[in-house]
Structure 1
Amino acid sequence: MKQSAVSEPVSANRSSSKQRLRDSMSSLGMLPVLLIVSVVLFQLENSRFLAGENVLNILQQAIYLILISIGQMLVLVSGGFDLSVGATVALTSVVSSTVMVKLGVIMPDSPNIAAFAGFGSTIGVGLVVGLANGIGVSFMRVNPFIVTLATSSVIQGLTLLISQGSEVGPLPDSFVSFVGSGMAAGIPIAALLALPVIGVVYLLVDWARYGRNLFAIGSNPKAAFVSGVRVNVSLTGTYVLCSLLTAISSFMLTARVSSGQPLLGAEFPLSSITAAVIGGCSLKGGQGGLVGTILGALFVTMLSNGMDLVRLGSNYQMIILGIVLVVAVLIDRNRR
């Protein structure tokens, strides 16, 4: 009897995980085709697009958006969204850089300690921002648009106060060279560092109770509450997880740009929502997946990279990205 009692939830969990994977793959729609068509068109336009150096560059650029888009995907599945991810990137960059610079002055011979302290402050920023968003949405029952827009404004003000509108640096050379531009077996260190983070999210969403609760909340929060799901706690945890993923991405991106940037990450709210929606997430909640979101982030990054190679101005790129988001929303409506 004990063996049966244990095996039933495990079997059910595996079944629901496979079903969500099938739903996620079926919701990709035209994304695989768009990826292939984009690759062909950009390669025909510029033969350097598929060159090894540029492929690595795309991977390096994509990893930051992938992490943020995964966090955005979790919030979208819950029935909300997070407009504060861009401001969180900037605040994390400035705070972590400030910590590293100050410790670098105090302990000039211990750059690794400064880097670890900077990472600790990164986690702190992610927790605080995530709790502010989560409590506002779940316990105070304020619309996610208002909450995350308000926190974004507060965060931007704090970022400018801390940095005085200037770059923060210099950062430890070992941190910049290892995390920002380091390679291992031909793969960017940033991508290798992101893999275990993505793995943890995969386990949480596809194999833990948290994932089942998240999809239940996004589909029908009242029914989820009646079923015994702690809706407020789960929602708060989701916003915290989104902010943590965003902060970790910012920490690695800070190494890439080699200084704390108070204006870093302004494009991420639009890019992350676009990547998640075009990857199969529904703006109504209850639908989304890790694989589709990663592919969506790769598509958005590849689109930006390809437009750079064909020398399309940044203003035109923003217009095209906005059009892509509108098309993704229309596809989402037809899916439902």
Structure 2
Amino acid sequence: MSSAVAAYPRLERHPGFGLLGRLGILPALLLAVVIGMSAADPHFYGPINILNILRNTAFLTIVAFGQSLVIIGGGFDLSVGAIVALASVVAAKAMAGLGASVPGQDATIIAGGVAAGLGCGLAAGIVNGLCVAKLRVTGFVVTLGTMSAVTGLGLMLTNGIPVYGMPDSFVKGFGRAQLLGLPTAVYAALLILALMIFVQRRTLFGRYNYAIGGNVEAAVVSGVSIGWHVIAAYAVSGLLAAATGLLLTAQVGSGQASFGGDRMMLQSIAAAVIGGVSLRGGVGRVEIVAISALFLSILSNAVNLLHIDSRIQPIILGLIMVVAVALDEASRRRKARV
């Protein structure tokens, strides 16, 4: 086993939750918000509101998983929100086109639309990874450019008009359906969470991703194929963003270039950072990121229920992110002194 991999021999016990995870601050904040809202507004515990929170958490969680994977590997993906929107538009237009060509063939129509949506997300992720790995351009700059290009492409395909014409079996039978009282998006998020935990803890790709983000020079010396693993991380991020776009499209019933955007990108980064993923790379766990996404969804829901000015929400989110990063840096400095 190479030294880069040996540095993480038992990732399932690695303390890479960040200070928030280790001290239990995140669960405490989550509990405080829930208790506070239960006293402030009885509608908070209403079944419709709870389903909305879970559904929004599922969407954010899936995007944040891909974002976390890239950040753990030492990168950054600003294009996830734009990919969500593009996948929605491409999938909807593909289904509408196939519906006109082969009417009544719902399975073929849905399969074609899903493949088109996931394909464009995967392609965008691969382009990001290739630019970072082969052209040696920083992930921040590459994905900033991709975000602009993908956003423009989505608007050009739709002229800002929502795309309809998808089969009812995709919208009502899947996107708006519930199983055992829970939206299908929640089950999709749980399935992806299980897969991501397996990848992080039980696969060489997961271990190499930690090694690359923790010390890229050591990983190179140890013989890790840096380029391919970087490309794979960005590809997974693009694919998961596209999957979120498909789930949003199925739930709303239309493909929209306004999905995702800056809000989804910022929230995915916030979910990762608040969940203990270090911006320096090499540290983080997807299960903690999922809890962080739940916290952010509940916080956003609470702000709306309390009728707080929507312009204040980004301020609150920004302050929480700053505190999370500051605590992570304080933890690193404390370790360095020990």
Do these two structures clear the TM 0.5 threshold for a shared fold by scoring above it?
Answer: yes
- After TM superposition, list the pairs within 5 Å mapping 1:12-31 onto structure 2: 16-20=10-14, 22-24=15-17, 27-28=20-21, 29=23, 30-31=25-26
- Any idea what the Cα deviations from partners look like across 1:27-85, whole Å, max 9, x if unmatched? 51411111011111111111121233322221111101000001111011011110001
Considering only aligned residues, what root-mean-square deviation do their CA atoms show, in Å? 1.8
Residues 1:307 and 2:303 are matched in the alignment: yes
AA paired with 1:117?
G
Corresponding residue for residue 134 of structure 2: 139
Cα distance between partner residues in 2 of 1:234 and 1:48: 46
Equivalent residues in 2 for 1:230-249, closer than 5 Å: 230-249=225-244
User: After the TM superposition, which of the residue ranges 211-220 and 44-53 deviates more from structure 2?
Assistant: 44-53
Q: Name the SS for the 2:320 alignment partner.
A: helix
Given that 1:274 and 1:328 are in contact with CA atoms closer than 8 Å, whether structure 2 keeps it comes out as no
CA drift at 1:122: 1.7
Taking the TM superposition and a 5 Å limit, the aligned residue runs for 1:110-125 are 110-125=105-120
Equivalent residue, structure 2, for 1:275: 271
Q: Does structure 2 retain, via aligned residues, the 8 Å contact 1:71–1:245?
A: yes
Partner of 1:56: 51
Partner of 1:49: helix, strand, or coil? helix
The one-letter code sitting in structure 1 at the alignment partner of 2:318 is G
Deviation at 1:203, TM superposition (A): 1.3
Greater mean alpha carbon deviation, residues 150-159 or residues 41-50: 41-50
The one of 127, 143, 154 aligned to 2:122: 127
What amino acid sits opposite 1:209 in the alignment?
L
Paired with 1:141 and 1:27, the residues of 2 have a C-alpha distance of 33
Question: Corresponding residue for 1:175?
Answer: 170
Q: Give 1:170 shift.
A: 2.8
Asked whether the 8 Å contact 1:159–1:262 carries over to 2, the reply is yes
Cα deviations by residue, 1:154-198 (Å, 9 ceiling, x for unpaired): 101111111122111132211111332110111211212333222
Aligned length: 325
Counterpart for residue 335 of structure 2: none
The residue identity in structure 1 corresponding to 2:215 is N
SS in 1 for 2:188: helix
Q: Provide the residue aligned with 1:149 in structure 2.
A: 144
Q: Give 2:13's aligned amino acid.
A: Q
For residues 132 and 331 of structure 2, what CA distance do their matches in structure 1 show? 27
Q: Deviations 1:278-297 (Å, cap 9, x if unpaired)? A: 00100000100011100111
- What is the DSSP-based 3-state SS (H/G/I as helix, E as strand, rest coil) of the residue aligned with 2:115? helix
Q: CA deviation at 1:306?
A: 1.0
Which residue of structure 1 aligns with residue 315 of structure 2? 319
In structure 1, C-alpha distance between the alignment counterparts of 2:13 and 2:274, rounded to whole Å: 20
SS at match of 2:75: coil
* From 290, 312, 326, the counterpart of 2:286: 290
Instruction: State the TM-score, normalizing by the size of structure 2.
Output: 0.92
Q: Is the 8 A contact 2:57 2:293 kept in 1?
A: yes
Residues 260 and 218 of structure 1, relative CA distance in 2, 3 Å threshold: same
Is 1:329 matched up with 2:325? yes
The letter for the 1-side match of 2:52 is N
Counterpart Cα distance in 2 of 1:218 and 1:32 = 26
Aligned-partner Cα distance in 1 for 2:163–2:188 = 24
In the alignment, the residues of structure 1 paired with residue 275 and residue 31 of structure 2 have an alpha-carbon distance, to the nearest angstrom, of 15
